Chain A
Amino acid sequence: MNPILRGVIIYVFLLIIFRITGKRTLSNTTTFELVLLLIISEVTQQAMAGEDFSIITAFLLISTLIGMDLLFSFIKTKSKLFDEAAEGSPIIVVDKGKPLKNRMRLSRVGEEDILASARLLHGLERMDQIKYAVLETDGSISIVPFEGKG
């Protein structure tokens, strides 16, 4: 199969699989997830390049992947619907110190994750010091502390 076509198929497959598994997948990158990421990249590399180790194939595949990314970024800027379908939208998971349990469960966000972000970003100690916690589209959690508590 043509390497460009392989690159396109792999790109779209990865886009779908990471959309299916949710924002939190690989967002923290623990040691195990880093290893998992390396294994995924190795498997992907074999599926894309096969036994063709030529430089021209590498150039074609790199250009395909970056080209696809540029194309998708362009479409996202033009279509809000596509952007939201591909990336999702940010979602509030803590509102005025109160964890929104349903949203957290559906997004697979634990209270520990929110408190960890609160400690890391603002040195906060407790949930009631958080005005808003937002699960961003990249899977990270941003924290807005109550004024005077940050």
Chain B
Amino acid sequence: MATDVDKTEIIKHSLELDEDITLFKKGIYFQRAGTVLMFIFLICGAAGAFGTGPISQQNLTVGAAKIESEKFLRFKDETELLFRLQQVEAEAQIAFPTEYLEHFEVTNIMPEPISTEIVGDKVVYRFAANDKAVIRFFLSPGQTGSVEGSLSVNNQPVHISHFIYR
């Protein structure tokens, strides 16, 4: 079946011109395929395939705690790791594997932890809490690629993973 590109007019001319209709047609097909790919790329981006979007959002539950974070991150683009804790006694405890934290720079923690210590291969943050607590970690990815680790929220483990784009 003839496409609109195949209907390109063929003419005879007297110009000393290196006109290549076959290449022109191929170029149009390339442009169309490229445009489709570009829009697929944009749709994926808008959906969050490269960070910040619905498919990037990951919500984890561990006991009575909920963790909100992004699955797809971008290098040096700050991200937030939000912990919503419930039924907490006087102190909430969040522990990160040091291997996990090696991929990030912790730029801010809200509220400030009452203590931070390294226990084995984990960094343990303790927070003053009274039944409920909302704790935010602001992280800046410093390495690219796949990152995963087992966090612990009040001694209950939860697996988290991200992919950091360059």
Contact = CB atoms under 8 A, between A and B. Distances in A.
A20 B7 contact: no
A50 B19 CA distance: 42
A102 to B, nearest CB: 5
Contacts of A65: none
B18 A89 contact: yes
Interface string B81-102: 0000000000000000000000
Contacts of B34: 16-17, 19-20
Interface stretch (B8-16, B54-62, B111-119): B8-16
A95 B13 contact: yes
Nearest to B36: A20
A22 interface: yes
Contacts of B1: none
Interface residues of B, number: 24
Contacts of B4: 102, 105-106
A111 to B, nearest CB: 15
B38 interface: yes
A101 B27 CA distance: 17
B31 A21 contact: yes
A89 B20 contact: yes
Given A16-B34, A20-B30, A20-B35, A103 B9 contact: yes
Interface of B: 4-5, 7-9, 11, 13, 15, 17-21, 23-24, 27-28, 30-31, 34-35, 38, 76, 166
The 6 closest A-B pairs by CB, nearest first: A20-B34, A89-B20, A100-B9, A95-B11, A84-B23, A106-B28
